[in-house]
Structure formats: C-alpha cells, structure tokens
Amino acid sequence: AGIYVSELGTALLVTGTISFFAVLVLIYANSLNKVDLERKRAEFILRRYQEQLEAILANTGAVIYIYDVDGTSMLVNKQFEKVFRKSSSEVLGKKIHEISDSRFAKNIQESHYRVIQGRMPVVVEEEIQEDDGLHAFISNKFPIFDENGIPYAIGAISTDITDMKRMHEELKE
C-alpha cells in the first residue's frame, strides 16, 4: 500500500508543478500580449504623427529645412526644392555652400551660428535670388536639441514676404 501512496504523491507533485508552470506561462503570455498591444498602439500614433508632419511639409507654402550644426542638410520640404530648384536627393547630405551662392550661404551660416550660440529661436529676414528676381523671406530659425539638451541641428520655417513688401512700398508711395 505504501508504493501506491508514494507514486500518487509523485504524480500529484509533478501535476502540481506542471500546473504551476502552465499558469506562469499563461500569465507571462498575457503580459506579453498587453505589452504588444501597447507597442502597436504607440506605433500607430507615431505613424499618424509622421503622416501629419509629412502632409504639412508637402503642402505648405513655406520653405522648411533642417541643417545639422556642421551645416549639412538633413531635411528639406517640397517648397525648398521649388525655391532652390534642386531635388531633395541633390540637397540632403550637402553643405549650404554646395547648393547656393557664397553670399547667401554665408548669411545662412551666420544666422545658424546665432541660433546655436544663443540656444534660442531667432527671426531673420533673408533674400534669395529667384528666376523672377530677388525674393524676401522672413525666417523663423530654432535649435533642435538631443536627449541631453545639446543642440544638434537648426530648423527653419521661411515665408516669402516679397509681395507684402512690394505692396507696402506701393502704399508708402
């Protein structure tokens, strides 16, 4: 009779251990499922934000760009391509003096330097030679910081104010 009790005890111990680990696996699988759902939700939100930003970049009339602190182009929008008559593939990874005349490049670099040194946004008026003449832009430039609070890039949103300036001059006359 003692043999059966010993075998039964072993069987119950093995069954209990298996049941315990099965419950642990189910709990862990449920936790992983929750984490995976949260990750998918975060990816969806991130994808939505990216789509919204891409829509803004593609459809705004403003010139938008980002240059790193060394003056290398990181991002340009469609309006930038139109104004400078260069595709993004011709611009990205290039320095400002490689895509525009030296006087304009020097002015851009000076304003970028002010943004980085001041670690604050600046507003500047800039002129760009286009096919139909000289155009005036009001540019809002701002530092972009890394996770340690160190500026690694300069972003800019530039709006063509040529027509407004012409109307202002006409009104003055």
When computed from its CA atoms, the radius of gyration of the chain, rounded to whole angstroms, is: 30
Residue with the bigger pLDDT between 46 and 85: it is 46
Highest mean pLDDT among 78-87, 89-98, 136-145: 136-145
Indicate the pTM of the whole model: 0.75
Q: Binning pLDDT at 50, 70 and 90, where does residue 158 land?
A: very high
Residues 74/112, Cβ–Cβ less than 8 Å: no
pLDDT for 4 equals 61
Hey, which residues does 134 pair with through a beta bridge? 129
Give the pLDDT confidence of 15-67 residue by residue, as tens digits. 999 999 999 999 999 999 999 999 999 999 999 999 999 999 999 999 999 99
Q: Binning pLDDT at 50, 70 and 90, where does residue 162 land?
A: very high
pLDDT for 3 equals 54
pLDDT for 11 equals 86
Give the pLDDT confidence of 99-154 residue by residue, as tens digits. 887 888 888 889 999 999 999 999 999 988 777 888 899 999 999 999 999 999 99
pLDDT for 2 equals 54
Alpha helix ranges (H) inside the chain: 2-59, 78-84, 88-91, 96-99, 102-118, 162-172
Residue 64 identity (one-letter amino acid): I
